[in-house]
Structure formats: structure tokens, C-alpha cells
Structure 1
Amino acid sequence: MPATDLRRVRRWLWAAVALVAVAASVALWRPAPKNQVAEDYASAFGGPFSLTDTQGRTVTDATLRGKPFAIFFGFTHCPDVCPTTLQMMVRLRQNLGADGDRLNIVFVSVDPERDTPAEIGHYLTMFDTPIIGLTGNPAQLKAIVDAYHVFYEKVPIEGGDYVVDHTASVFLMDADGRFFSTLDHKEGEAPKLAKLKRLLREG
């Protein structure tokens, strides 16, 4: 067989192999079931933890179940993001009217060096609304920040003091402790309120 014809046959053979491979991959691929996608989304954030509240009592992920909650990570010496976010959450809960009582707000301090349970309790009185304040030792905090994929880092500043850089999102969890959505500081209050209403309706 001439070399030209041989090359042509080889090209046809390789084309046939490629078509078979594509057909096999299409036949084998199946989209993930919708319920599996929903399950993966709901388990993307959250998980087991054990912390201490402002009264010195142990609070776990199981303790919070039974009621949807919004959880935020910060520290009491935070100059802007933390108080602004907590004030926003208080305002949103008030805007929910009577349904606001069905939502817990949870504040987790990522500054265990300074934020004792008593210090957190004093700090939260500024917001004049029930907020669950939590803290723990470094190992306990690592467990919850890993579960929620939260970043925090101690940053020295002038004068020997420090601040804590941290994730600023609010995580919305349903009554079973499953992830529902987040509130981002860049969102307007109307879409945030709509998310909370949907959480209370569905979660």
C-alpha cells in the first residue's frame, strides 16, 4: 500500500478511536441528582463544635438546633466591621417583626486572648437585643473556623496592640444546623431581609 494511503488509513483509524472515546464518555457521564447537589450545598459550611457562652455554659452545634440562626465571627475590639455587622443584624431582626423571635444571632469571638465570656457579654449589651456570644480555647476555635471555612489572623499594630483580620460574611443556618446562605456586607438590606424571610419560611 502506498505511504499516502497508509497515512490516510491511520488518520481514519485515529478519528474512529476518538469518536468511540467521546461516545463512551457521554454514555458514562450522568449529571449529579438534584437532591445530591442540594445535600452538598447544605453541608458546605458548619459542623461539630463546642464553645463557651457568656454565662460560662457549654454550647455546641446541637445546642443551636431547633431554630434558624445567623452566625458571625469577629472580636470585641473590632473598630468597624463587627459593630456595624451586629447592628445590621439587629436591625434586620427587628424588621422581621414577630418572626424575628424565631431567629438567633450568634457572635463567635476569634480573639481568645482578650475576649473572655464576661468581656463578650458586656460588649453585646451595647446592641440591646439577645445575641448568643461564644468563645473558646484555640483548639475549640480551630474546630469551628475550619467547619465554617473562616479566615482569621492576628495583625500587630503600632503601640504593641493588635487587631484581628477575619472573614466578614454572616452565615445563615437552618434549624437543623445546615447551611442556607450568606449575607455579604456589599448587599443591600432589602435582599438581606428577603434571605432571612426565606430562611424562616423554609428552614
Structure 2
Amino acid sequence: MNRAAILLAGLGLLVLVSGTALYTLLGERPECDVSSAVGATIGGPFELVDREGDLVTDVDVLNHPALVYFGYTFCPDVCPFDMARNALAADLLAEQGHDIALVFISVDPERDTPEVLGQYADDMFPEMVALTGSAEQVKAAARAYRAYFAKGEGSGEFYLVDHSTFTYLMFPGNEFGAYFRREDTAEGIAETVACLVES
């Protein structure tokens, strides 16, 4: 074998070994089962009011991974179910050592005062971050998340609010991870969130 062939074979082997070592050290990013919003930016800056009546921003709230949901406390069926499911997902994740915040943003600022939200959070999930604000603040937050809501017909305090029902996984810095639909289970959400957090 001539010298050039030995040198080329040696270089090829070096590249192969180096590439394999780098791949092993960095690890393969797992394929997580996620729903992504193609072509849409989800999340962004917001200013809202927490259950204590204090003004908070996205930076204050999204300081670790969070499941963000837009709903309202007078919702008769959808919101309680979705939030109970999200709370169960957060519990399952906590059992795996993952600290996931539950964030509930009201789309009914007229009725959902900080006090009402505080009671709702205590009943549903005491650690839940419950947020409201002025009509403009809520609209701006919903716009950032591409969340839809519209006040329905009704008299006085007896009205419904039509709204989208996605749950968003957000990371610090307004980084969007995934969204979950109503039909997604707590177990499925926990599995996807754990996969994304660990990657």
C-alpha cells in the first residue's frame, strides 16, 4: 500500500471516529410528539394583573416552563375540565421532577377580578398563576397568543364568553414549545412536555 492511500485511510478513520464521538457527546435530540403552529408566532410580551392585584409581565410569569390557558371563571364546562386536566399534567410532571407553572389568563376581565381569580385558583390548583387585567391588556395578551375570545349575549352578569381552548407550552423568553388541544390527555401532555423540557 502506498503512503497516500494509508494517509487517506487514516484521515477517513479519524473523521469517522471524531464524528461518532461528537454525536455521542451531544446526544441525539429526541423526537417529541408536538403540535406546532406553522407560520405563526405564538407568545409575546404582556402586562396583566395577578390575584393580589399587582401588575406582572411575561418576564415575571414565564420564568420557567409553563402551560398557558385562556379561559374564564364563569365558564360552565370547558374551562374547568381543561384546567383540571392541565393541573393533572403538572402533577404528573412534578412526580418526574419537572417544575411546570400553570398560567390561567382570563378572557372575561369584567367579572374576573383579582379576588375572583384568587378564589378560582384556590379551588382548582393553589399554585396556579391566575391573571386578569383591563380589556385592552387582555386583548393584547390574547393577540400575542393568537387566542380568540368574544363576549356572548346575555343580560347583566349572565353571559358566556366564546373562546379558543388551546393550552400553550411556553419557555422563558417567550419561547413557544407546543400547543395542546381539548382532546389531548393529561398523560399525553405530560409526556410531550417532559420530552421537550429534557431536550
- State the 1:200 CA deviation: 2.2
- State the 1:159 CA deviation: 8.1
Residues 125-150 of structure 1: per-residue CA shift (max 9 Å, x gap): 11243100000101111111110011
Residues 81-129 of structure 1: per-residue CA shift (max 9 Å, x gap): 1111111011111112344651110000111111100010011111243
- State the 1:67 CA deviation: 0.3
What is aligned with 2:172? 175
Q: 1:140 aligns with which of 137, 140, 144?
A: 137
1:84 has 2:84 as partner: no
Distance 1:160 1:50, change over 3 A: closer
What is aligned with 1:44? 41
Residues 11-54 of structure 1: per-residue CA shift (max 9 Å, x gap): xxxxxxxxxxxxxxxxxxxxxxxxxxxxx969710111100100
Q: Give TM-score, length-normalised by structure 2.
A: 0.75
Distance 2:172 2:185 in 1: 25
1:185 has 2:182 as partner: yes
What is aligned with 1:5? none
- State the 1:156 CA deviation: 1.3
1:93 alignment partner AA: A
Distance 1:87 1:93 in 2: 10
- The answer to whether the 8 Å contact 2:102/2:127 transfers is yes
Distance 1:58 1:41 in 2: 32
Q: 1:114 aligns with which of 111, 124, 139?
A: 111
Distance 1:100 1:107, change over 3 A: farther
Could you tell me which runs of 5 or more consecutive residues in structure 1 were left unpaired when the two chains were aligned: 1-39
- The answer to whether the 8 Å contact 1:53/1:134 transfers is yes
SS at match of 1:187: coil
- The answer to whether the 8 Å contact 2:42/2:144 transfers is yes
Q: 1:103 aligns with which of 100, 105, 115?
A: 100
Distance 1:50 1:42, change over 3 A: farther
Distance 2:107 2:125 in 1: 22
Which has the greater radius of gyration? 1
- The answer to whether the 8 Å contact 2:90/2:101 transfers is no
1:63 has 2:53 as partner: no
What is aligned with 1:124? 121
- The answer to whether the 8 Å contact 1:94/1:100 transfers is no
Distance 2:53 2:94 in 1: 30
Distance 1:100 1:59 in 2: 27
Distance 1:146 1:173 in 2: 15
Distance 2:173 2:157 in 1: 43
How many positions carry a matched residue from both structures? 163
- State the 1:66 CA deviation: 2.9
